[in-house]
Amino acid sequence: MTKDERYVSLSTWTKEGKRKRTPIWIASIDGDRVGFTTGKKTWKVRRIQRNPNVEIQSCSYKGELHKDSEEFSGVARVVDHGEKEYALIDKAIRDKYGIQYLLINFLGQFSKKHGEDCAIIISLEKEKLA
């Protein structure tokens, strides 16, 4: 399933309805929920705040969709750094990505251009998209 993939392409939509894809790390929280951490000032967060409907699909680290991979739809919400669910997602990402997480997190301390950390929780729909 997509939530077990190393990288997934997150689709969000602009005000004009144009799809924007971004490769992200993702980790499972429980049954039908996955999540990731990011900066609060990123465009994906701004688009999710405007329209919480998202789609995810497995991809390469460059964002190239894997052939024959399935697309899943869901509803996303932003979780602030101090909230309990943020810690759940942060731990799940840390456990899944290990040393990569530590390196990216360390380097991220030197650049706060994306703002304070937040997390995105995606509640996946149980049925696959057609």
For the stretch 32-91, pLDDT in tens is 899 999 989 899 999 999 999 999 999 998 999 999 899 999 999 999 988 999 999 989
Identify whether the C-beta of residue 10 lies closer than 8 Å to the C-beta of residue 21: yes
Q: What is the pLDDT of residue 27?
A: 92
Q: Is the pLDDT of residue 113 over 80?
A: no
Is residue 26 in some structural domain?
Answer: yes
pLDDT band at 24 (very low <50, low <70, confident <90, very high): very high
**Residue with the larger pLDDT of the pair 129 and 60:** 60
Q: What is the CATH number of the domain that holds 78?
A: 2.30.110.10
pLDDT band at 99 (very low <50, low <70, confident <90, very high): confident
Is residue 94 in some structural domain?
Answer: yes
Is residue 83 in some structural domain?
Answer: yes
Q: What is the pLDDT of residue 43?
A: 94
The set of residues, in sequence order, having a beta carbon less than 8 Å from that of 86 and lying 6+ positions away, is 37, 79, 80, 117, 118, 119
Is residue 128 in some structural domain?
Answer: no
Q: What is the pLDDT of residue 79?
A: 96
- In the chain, the number of structural domains is 1
**The token pair that represents 60 in the structure block:** 């390469």
- Which residue range(s) make up the domain with 104? 2-123
Is residue 12 in some structural domain?
Answer: yes
Is residue 9 in some structural domain?
Answer: yes
Is residue 42 in some structural domain?
Answer: yes
Is residue 130 in some structural domain?
Answer: no
How far apart are the C-alpha atoms of 49 and 9, rounded to whole Å?
Answer: 18
pLDDT band at 97 (very low <50, low <70, confident <90, very high): confident
